[in-house]
Copies of this chain bind each other. A is one copy, B any other.
């Protein structure tokens, strides 16, 4: 059994690849919830939705978030009524948030996520990292900003100084995450190519999770979200730069501080020297389903080779 930790777009793509090469009972996808927030009265879980929409094949691939063929009549009407327009909620996407809001009155986020994923036809389990609220707060040169205010409203433009995960110290890891870590059949843990600071760090910040990952004897392998010093999507390279960490395999290894057994990197970074870490060098850009399946299969083979 494989445990994959994922955030948004890049993580969702590899998760889709993993789901294509592993049966549903051999993969658990645990998703960051540090980006979650409430907007226009709806509980928004951007990373969970990106993973679900991607695995269901209904995501907007060009935009990187939301649903393909989405319409925006709701947002037009919200603007007319004077509501906040800085975070777009598509008409179809809104159904996800509405169902989540209703179900959360009597169900955990894990249960709600399983319901939504099931209705979208996804066979593989997708779970939040925690059913308790964790909220990423970014400290910037403009002061502290709630995550989506930094990321969407301010387009990740303010200089990133640090991040803290409000609530993480008392958030219980989700049942699926705990079960996967306890599963005697666990073969490897994959850190998907999501933003290491924004998407993977919140998961590692949950009480006991980092210690449990370090205590596991199964390989922990990350797939680098960087190619030639740049992120494929989003501000990961900019943030690493502002933290003084190079957006390279070596920078990534130092960021994870000894947690990793192996790292999958792009050919463009083949010359980067990473001490004390096994590398798998390949094409990491995932343009289509074939790329995703291939990268997932290579990552699994590589992880198994490290046992």
Q: In the complex, how many angstroms separate the beta carbon of A26 from the nearest chain B beta carbon?
A: 27
Q: Does A77 contact B (CB under 8 A)?
A: yes
Q: Are B73 and A91 neighbours in the complex by a CB distance under 8 Å?
A: yes
**Nearest B residue (CB) for A92:** B77
Q: Quick one: CB contact mask for A112-150 with B, threshold 8 Å, 1 for yes?
A: 000110011000000000000000000000000000000
Q: B42, B75, B91, B101: which contacts A77 (Cβ < 8 A)?
A: B91
Q: Does A40 contact B (CB under 8 A)?
A: yes
Given contacts A80-B119, A81-B116, A81-B119, is CB(A74)–CB(B99) below 8 Å? no
Q: Are B92 and A76 neighbours in the complex by a CB distance under 8 Å?
A: yes
The number of times this chain is found in the oligomer is 2
Given contacts A40-B102, A41-B101, A102-B41, is CB(A95)–CB(B119) below 8 Å? no
Q: Does A82 contact B (CB under 8 A)?
A: yes
Q: Does A268 contact B (CB under 8 A)?
A: no
**Nearest B residue (CB) for A82:** B119
Q: Does A71 contact B (CB under 8 A)?
A: yes
Kindly identify, within residues 69 to 107 of chain A, every residue whose CB is under 8 Å from any CB belonging to chain B. Answer: 70-71, 73-78, 80-83, 90-96, 98-99, 101-102
Kindly identify, within residues 276 to 304 of chain A, every residue whose CB is under 8 Å from any CB belonging to chain B. Answer: none
Q: Are B99 and A83 neighbours in the complex by a CB distance under 8 Å?
A: yes
Kindly identify, within residues 35 to 94 of chain A, every residue whose CB is under 8 Å from any CB belonging to chain B. Answer: 40-42, 70-71, 73-78, 80-83, 90-94
Q: How far is the CA of A74 from the CA of B94 in the complex (A)?
A: 7
Q: Are B98 and A73 neighbours in the complex by a CB distance under 8 Å?
A: no
Q: How far is the CA of A116 from the CA of B115 in the complex (A)?
A: 34
Q: In the complex, how many angstroms separate the beta carbon of A43 from the nearest chain B beta carbon?
A: 11
Q: Are B74 and A41 neighbours in the complex by a CB distance under 8 Å?
A: no
**Nearest B residue (CB) for A80:** B119
**Nearest B residue (CB) for A121:** B80
Give me 13 A-to-B residue pairs in the complex whose CB atoms sit less than 8 angstroms apart, sorted by A's number: A40-B98, A41-B102, A73-B73, A74-B74, A74-B91, A74-B95, A76-B92, A77-B94, A81-B95, A81-B116, A81-B119, A82-B119, A83-B95
Which residues of A line the B interface, CB within 8 A? Answer: 40-42, 70-71, 73-78, 80-83, 90-96, 98-99, 101-102, 115-116, 119-120
Closest A-B pairs by Cβ, 4 of them: A77-B95, A73-B91, A77-B92, A91-B91
